[in-house]
Amino acid sequence: MFHLLLDLRKMFLYILGLVAVWFVYRWYRETKRVSNKEDKYVYITGCDSGFGNLLARHLDKLGFRVIAGCYTGKGEDELKKVSSDKLTTIHLDVADSESVSKVAAFIKTLVGQKGLWAVVNNAGISVPSGPNDWLTVEDFKPMIAVNLLGVIDVTLSVLPLIKKAKGRVINIASVCGRISPFGGPYCVSKYGVESFNDSLRIDMTPFGVKVLCIEPGFFKTNVTDTAMLKNNFMKLWERLPQEVKDDYGHGFLDTTLEQLDERYRQIVDGDLMKVVGCMEHAISALYPRTRYSPGWDAKFLWLPMSYMPSWLSDTYLIKSKPRPKISAL
Active site (annotated) includes residue 186 = yes
Q: Which of 186, 191, 248, 292 is catalytic?
A: 186
The residue type of 179 is I
Give the SS3 label for residue 153. helix
Handedness of CA 246, 142, 272, 210 (dihedral sign): positive
- 112's CB contacts (< 8 A; 6+ apart) are none
Say how far apart CA 64 and CA 81 lie, in whole Å: 17
Residue 216, CA distances (Å) to 43, 96, 101, 178, 293 in order: 20, 26, 28, 11, 5
- 126's CB contacts (< 8 A; 6+ apart) are 143, 186, 223, 224, 229
**Residue from 201, 90, 109 nearest 161 by CA:** 109
Beta strands per DSSP E along the chain: 41-44, 65-70, 88-91, 118-121, 168-172, 210-214, 291-292
| Cis peptide, bond prior to residue 128, ω within 30 of zero | yes
Which run of H or E residues covers position 105? helix 97-111
- Sheet hosting strand 168-172, strand order edge to edge: 88-91, 65-70, 41-44, 118-121, 168-172, 210-214, 291-292
87-115: buried (b, 16+ CB within 10 Å) or exposed (e) per residue? bbbbebbbbeeebbebbbeebbebbeebb
Q: Which residues are catalytic?
A: 186
